[in-house]
Amino acid sequence: MDSYKVHSDEAYGPEELIKFHGLHLPESARSFTATKWRPRRNLYIPEVYVENKWFKEKIKKKECVHFVRNTDHSESSEEVCCCGNVKSRHVYDKPNITDLEWDEGKHIEEMATDAFGDFAFAGLRNKKAKYVRASNNTYATDLYDMMMNQWKLRMPNLLISVIGGAKDVKMNPRLKKRFSKGLLKAAQSTGAWIITDGCHTGVTKIVGEAVRDFSMGGNSCNNSEIVTIGITTWGTIHKRDSLIRTEKGVSAEYLLDVDHQGNLSCLDNNHSHFILVDDGKQGKYGVKIPLRTKLEKLICGETISKEEFNLKIPIVYLALEGGPGNLDIQDIVCNNQKFTILREDKNGIQDMDVAILQASLKAPQNMDPMGNVNWLKLAVLWNRLDIAKNCVFQSGWNWKPEDLYPMLTFGLIGNKPDFLQLFLDQGVSLQDYVTQKTLSQLYDNIEPHSIFHQKLKTLKKGDGNQGGDILHHVEQVLESLLWKFEKPPYSTKQPRDTRPQSSPSTNGESSPKMEYPIRDLLIWAVVQNRGELAKILWAQVRSASSSRL
């Protein structure tokens, strides 16, 4: 059953709706609908119809509109145009054009795309991929808008762009296993997008098989899908006609037919999304490169905003090349976030995921303070403790405890106990870290589905105090939960601030400290049922109590 949304019906008249459902509107009825149709305020429109409308308005395809016979293909069984397509494919030919010479600028035109939505690979009905046929003149901004709002993808925390030839790459089984495991571990642990050329051959096929094996091995967390985007040329796809939609919008089915593909290519059946770049011609490879480059550049210009974090999405280019026994993970040549796998080192192989993430952290100024801070932010964002310990804190930079406060706040909000322990080991004092402002920020970002959050929300809404001190409301919630069994830690009359000392906050301003900062942080963890964080904080409470004695 189609999903439905409520839309203003002024954009959807009866003729559009009747056409969508595949019905014929008699001529006599058209005049009636033109005069008698009165839109209702809330009209239920199938969501698939809204999707169709967006794609047909925003995304274009290209078609040759004038057939000029190519004399270089005289041996072909059917006449071939200079655009590379046979005569039978020229369904948009304009008879008024009489030019004798074929001109790409004049004879290829853009029109609404006819291939988009989702399709299933023949024999694999449960495995569907989303796709779109888009003109090579499509704005990268429109494609990114499509990916986020039509395909509903989450913004990536890392972009892994896989490049390499279409020829078969031979890897020994041991190295291939390490490569596959490492690539997908890097992608999943960081929430990355993997971008390839989408074809079932060469490097891309290896990546696709890695995705398949990783998913079948039960490695995916919470059934989360590895986002693998193939950007390839429409005119080089074997059996591409099967991807053209019917009027009723039925999902397409694509047959992976490598044996009969000839000089064309089949789509890889282990990718989740495809952008099929169309220049109106057939058999011309490389058409997708300029648009892919623009799209990757645009994505990497986007900002990841997490609490106090503002980071540009990093990108790493992964290139595979060489013959048997000639691939290397150990000898990676890193330059401006690009690296090439050369050959296998006899002394061992570095973990592939670590190599990828290290390459994405490379910066021209190795000792730049903001560079180091951004590296650490990424490590916390990716939840990669090993990267923080072995790469960031081994860089030689002299870290001050207050430099780590923003990352600690992010780690606490994101429930990353390993990073809490790491920052404590690096010399962070919770006595200095926990201030009134810090605690307020932590409670502002409490789990939205927790009972504590709902009670806080109700209290703030009840007294109209949306921007006041949240600790006053925390006191009230704790009192309602504890009743008379325990005295709540904060004063209900006013926000508690009994210590005159101040501590520098992340923006350089001072903020009042708390009287019992570690206990306050422990309560914050307990009310969210964050056991691992609470254990670490409880150990700190006991340590502080022992030091007083």
pLDDT band at 466; cut points 50, 70, 90: low
Tokens of 174: 């041991």
pLDDT attached to residue 486: 60
Least confident of 201-210, 246-255, 278-287, 501-510: 501-510
Structure tokens at 471: 């600790």
* Per-residue pLDDT at 365: 37
CB under 8 Å, gap of 24 or more: what pairs does 443-449 form? 443/470, 443/471, 443/474, 443/524, 444/470, 445/307, 445/413, 446/524, 446/527, 446/528, 447/528
Query: Coil, strand, or helix at residue 6?
Result: strand
Alpha carbon distance 492, 87 (integer Å): 82
Report d(CA 467, CA 489) in Å as an integer.
22
Start-end of H helices in 391-516: 405-413, 417-425, 430-433, 436-444, 451-463, 470-482
Q: What is the pLDDT of residues 352-398, one digit of tens each?
A: 788 788 777 764 433 445 677 888 888 998 999 998 988 888 877 78
| Mean pLDDT estimate for the chain | 78
CA-based nearest residue to 318, from 381, 348, 360: 360
Q: How confident is residue 81, by pLDDT bands cut at 50, 70 and 90?
A: very high
User: Kindly report the CA angle at 387 between 385 and 391, in degrees rounded to 5?
Assistant: 135
* DSSP string covering 401-434: GGGGHHHHHHHHHTT-HHHHHHHHHTT--HHHH-
The answer on pLDDT for 5 being more than 60 is no
pLDDT at 11: 47
Spatial separation of the C-alpha atoms in residues 143 and 109, rounded to whole Å: 20
Residue percentage of the chain with pLDDT more than 70: 72
Is residue 1's pLDDT more than 50?
no
pLDDT over threshold 70, residue 341: no
Distance of CA 219 to the CA centre of its chain: 19
pLDDT digits (tens, 9 = 90+) for 7-53: 444 444 545 544 544 444 455 445 444 444 444 444 444 555 666 78
Per-residue tokens: 38: 């009165």
- The whole-number average pLDDT for the span 224-245 is 92
pLDDT of residue 509: 55
pLDDT digits (tens, 9 = 90+) for 144-194: 999 999 999 999 999 999 887 666 777 778 777 888 888 888 898 899 999
- Which residues are paired to 333 by β-bridges? 340
Give the pLDDT confidence of 115-155 residue by residue, as tens digits.
999 999 988 767 889 999 999 999 999 999 999 999 999 99
pLDDT at 310 > cutoff 70: yes
Beta carbons within 10 angstroms of residue 307's beta carbon = 15
Whole-Å CA distances, 346 to 45, 321, 329, 353, 468 = 63, 18, 11, 19, 63
Tokens representing residue 88 in the block: 């039978």
Confidence of residue 197 (pLDDT cuts 50, 70, 90): very high
pLDDT 10s digits, 416-434: 999 999 999 999 999 999 9
The pairing of beta strand 510-512 with beta strand 502-504: antiparallel
Supply the pLDDT for residue 156: 94
pLDDT at 75 over 50: yes
Residue 45 host element (H or E):
strand 43-46
Q: Are 126 and 94 in contact (CB under 8 A)?
A: no
Q: How confident is the model at residue 224 (pLDDT cuts 50, 70, 90)?
A: low
E strands in 403-505? 502-504
**Cα separation, 339 vs 360, whole angstroms:** 10
d(CA 289, CA 351): 30
Instruction: Dump pLDDT digits (tens) for 239-280.
Output: 999 999 876 667 788 999 888 888 899 999 999 999 999 999
Q: Which residue has the higher pLDDT, 500 or 191?
A: 191
Place of tokens 């926000």: 495
Contact 122, 95 (CB under 8 A): no
Rounded distance, CA 272 to CA 257, Å?
Answer: 19
Tokens 């000639």, residue? Answer: 326
- pLDDT tens digits, one per residue of 519-535: 989 999 998 889 999 99
Confidence bin at 549 (pLDDT 50/70/90): very low
Sign of CA dihedral 108, 112, 115, 116: positive
Q: How far is the C-alpha of 245 from the C-alpha of 250, rounded, in Å?
A: 7
Closest CA to 522 of 419, 412, 416: 412
Instruction: For residues 391 and 1, give the distance between their C-alpha atoms in angstroms, rounded to a whole number.
Output: 51
What is d(CA 450, CA 111) in angstroms, rounded to the nearest whole number?
Answer: 50
